[in-house]
Amino acid sequence: MQDLKIALVHELPDRLRLRVPALRGTGLDAAELESWVDVLPGVREARANRAAGSLTVHYDGGSAARALILKRLATFRSTALAPGETTDAGGDAEIAPLATAAFALATLPLIPMPLRRVATFASQGRILAKGADNLVRTGVGVETLDALAIGLAAARGKVYTASIAGLLLALGEYLERRTERQSDRMLRRLLRPRPAAAWLERDGELVQVPGEEVREDEIVVVGPGETVPVDGRAIEGAALVNQSAVTGEEVPVRKEPPHRVLAGSTLVEGRLRIRATQVGQDTTTARVARFIRESLAKGSDTQRLANRLAHQRVYLTLVTGGLVYAFTRDLTRLESVFLVDYSCALKLGTPVAFKSAMAAAADHGVLMKGGQAVEHLAAADTLVFDKTGTLTHSELLVTDVVLLDPQGCDEAGLLALVASVEEHASHPVAQAVVEAARERHLGHITHGEVDYLVAHGLAAEVGERRVRVGSRHYLEEHEGISFADHTEEVARLQEEGKTLLYVGSERGPLGLIALRDTLRADARATIARLRELGIRRVAMMTGDRHAKAEALGQELGLDAVYAEMAPEDKAGLIARLQAEGATVAFVGDGVNDGPALAEARVGIAMPRGADIARATADILLLEDRLSAIAEARDLAGRTMRLIRTNFNLAVGINTAVLAGAITGRLSPIASAVLHNGTTIAILLRALAGAGSDRGKSRATRDQGALN
């Protein structure tokens, strides 16, 4: 880790330019520095220039945003790179070769004839040096062919041929690098958590610092509505904590000493003092930064095939050129042949199409972790859903009102009683009960002051009795109200996967309120759309009993239902389906879904899934909607069709150009224009093709789903 030294060198109303000397070295991740600032409100773009050692930040011009940018940079702590590792940042630097080539071509007519050859060699020196270096390091490659063609043309005095070819090569390289930078920046911005503040106890006082500055063993204080900035253990207090962003559990859980508290959780009610146990490289921010680099580096089978074919066609061009010269002794034809290269279009078009698809998917609320994820999703023919949190929604619904004291009141009276007390709480269970009472138009029951025991339950005087509502632990351990005589009823409801709210008084148990998550409104439509997109088999796995699971399966029109599945059996089922010849995509969200997500050909995690599910999955939904899966499948299919079409176009057009070069019908300039023009056209088609229907960017909402 290293501190960042910066200096403000120039400022416009909506732009800051800062000197960052560390960028000139190799120990600072320039992409990380860009995304560190990119996530701030008001920032439009942050661009690092490694060659100049500077960072340019475009923002909305507000004084608050300016102050936040400078404060954020002052707290930057860089993750040291491994020896030899570099990052591909430097937006201003990458346009320099293109500008140089364009300037050289524009000024060529102004240079005296005897000096034009020298000027051409000088302006194309980068390409010639790159070709020589590639030949020495890795053998014959496309860079070597480019250098041979341009060098041969320049040596023979065909300076315009050499300069035009160099300009087109520089343009193609610029478009590729610029596209990758924009796609990578979007993905990094979507993934990196928003800067989180932490309240620390230091020297007997509470001080607010950025979450990245918390050190191990320091005490963090978290109150209602605040996000836990670090992983740690509760040492004092009690609270209801919503861990849905981390574990997928929508119902808040009680946390008190010595429970573990996870970074990214949100306190619903109560207050906690937490001792930090995981900081620095173990924080969520650091893990996400590593995850982003790994995701963007993932290749695909299609990309590897394209690279292999491109490499083979370099030798095809080289051998063809040798044969042409051997039979014709025509250097002009040799130049024309060397300027025809299949590999550029093949190697550039495929990764750019994948990057474009990833950026388009992010716009639609889906993160695809590399081209391999796109490829595998397009190839999937079987989709398996884990039920809880995927096909079912996280919002709770009251399903049963069970009377345990017939002498008390009827079901409507019990629900009205519990809702009247629970309306003073704000957690999801209370909200579901209150909403159920409103839907049934039940009146409010007058009661005394509500006593609230954080993370346990509520108690209030109702008439001549004191009613307690909450967890079984609260009623039995704190209030002495035993539910032992109703074990069978409790077990039945729990086996159905329902959350229970216990109700009792000094006379004993009064009743149970059972709740469960609801079927997602878009589940049926999504499954139908997936079938239209080529998914032949849709299945569901669940721990529910067979009868309940089969009923849901029939409702959704599923092809197969696997019920009473133990968590450890999920990966085995996926492996068995794939052994039978299926290409499986699996959708899950829980901790126990991690092995199945890894086993499947392509794993898809829900946005509120557990950390391990999100890390293991190949595709992460950034919005809590199933329809995003169908959109991702559609995009993946269109991307693979685009790549195949581009491949055929590249081979067909370049073969025609090569034939023209061999027969002498195409001059070197014509070969260069047609070949490089084809490469650029395919590159632009890859940029716009699969992602041409992008809707409004969801970057803001996506970030919220990840925090």
Q: Contact at 8 Å (CB) between 355 and 179?
A: yes
Distance CA 73, CA 378 (A): 41
Catalytic residues: 386
Report the alpha-carbon distance of residue 164 to residue 170 in Å, rounded: 10
CA–CA dist 545, 311 (Å, integer): 55
Helix (H) or strand (E) holding 77: strand 77-78
What's the maximum distance between 2 C-alpha atoms anywhere in the chain? 112
670 class by beta-carbon count within 10 Å (0-12 exposed, 13-18 middle, 19+ buried): middle
List, in sequence order, every residue forming a beta bridge with 16; answer none if it has no partner: 11, 57
How does DSSP assign 49-91, residue by residue? ETTTTEEEEEE---HHHHHHHHHHHHT-EEPPPPTT------H
Residue 324 C-beta-side C-alpha neighbours within 13 Å: 22
Q: What are phi and psi of 423, to 5 degrees?
A: -65, -10
> What does the CA dihedral 495, 496, 497, 498 come to, rounded to 10 degrees?
-110
> Can you tell me which residue has the tokens 């069978």?
488
Q: Which tokens is 286 given?
A: 């650091």
Instruction: Return the structure tokens found at 462.
Output: 């109702």
Identify any residues that bridge with 43 across adjacent strands, giving them in sequence order: 59
Contact 500, 377 (CB under 8 A): no
Q: Distance between CA atoms of 398 and 438, rounded to whole angstroms?
A: 12
DSSP 544: S
Other beta carbons within 10 angstroms of residue 43's beta carbon come to 19
| Torsion (CA) 146, 152, 154, 157 in degrees, nearest 10 | -150
Q: CA-CA distance, 280 to 571, in Å (whole number)?
A: 33
Decide: 457 and 409 in contact? Cβ < 8 Å.
no
Candidates 596, 582, 558; CA nearest to 379 is: 582
CB 620 within 8 A of CB 603: no
Contact present, 234 and 259 (Cβ < 8 Å): yes
In which element (H, E) is residue 254 found?
strand 253-255
CA 625 to chain centre: 15
Burial level of 350, CB count in 10 A (0-12/13-18/19+)?
A: buried
Long-range Cβ contact pairs of 542-551 (< 8 A, separation 24 or more): 542/386, 542/387, 542/388, 543/388, 543/497, 543/567, 544/387, 544/496, 544/497, 545/495, 545/496, 548/496, 548/497, 549/387
DSSP 548-559: HHHHHHHHHT-S
Separation CA 647–CA 655 (nearest Å): 12
- Which H/E stretch holds residue 317? helix 301-328
- What are the phi and psi torsion angles at 83 (to 5°)? -55, 130
Other CB atoms within 10 Å distance of the CB of residue 141: 20
With b for 16 or more beta-carbon neighbours within 10 A and e for fewer, the 524-535 pattern comes to eebbebbbebeb
DSSP letter at 79 equals P
Gap between the terminal Cα atoms of the chain: 24
Q: Which H or E run contains 191?
A: helix 159-191
